Amino acid sequence: MIDRLAVFCEGDPESSLPTLNAANGVDRQQRLERRIACAQLQHPDWDRDACYDQAYHELAPSGATQSGRGR
């Protein structure tokens, strides 16, 4: 399961966790929450803010800022 989760966190959820295929069309907040969870698993020593910042950076369009962080 850990190997499948690692593949999911790398950005290929369709091949690693097929039951999450329904989540492909969800809004940005759910994608961000899933990416935060992956960051927490990959970096257990990071606090919530560090995981959020990393996830936001990975998912944000070019030139986007973090104003209005919905926490």
Domain residues for the domain of 10 are 2-59
Query: Is the residue at 71 inside a domain?
Result: no
Query: Is the residue at 67 inside a domain?
Result: no
When divided into structural domains, the chain yields a total of: 1
Query: Is the residue at 7 inside a domain?
Result: yes
- Which pair of tokens denotes residue 67? 């104003």
Would the pTM count as exceeding 0.75?
Answer: no
Output the pLDDT for position 40.
93
Residue 60: pLDDT band with limits 50, 70, 90: confident
Query: Is the residue at 55 inside a domain?
Result: yes
Q: Kindly state the average pLDDT of the residues 64-69.
A: 58
Q: What are all long-range contacts of 29-37, with beta carbons under 8 Å and residues at least 24 apart?
A: 29/70, 31/59, 32/56, 32/59, 35/9, 35/59
Query: Is the residue at 18 inside a domain?
Result: yes
Query: Is the residue at 50 inside a domain?
Result: yes
Q: Kindly state the average pLDDT of the residues 21-30.
A: 62
Res. 4: pLDDT tops 50: yes
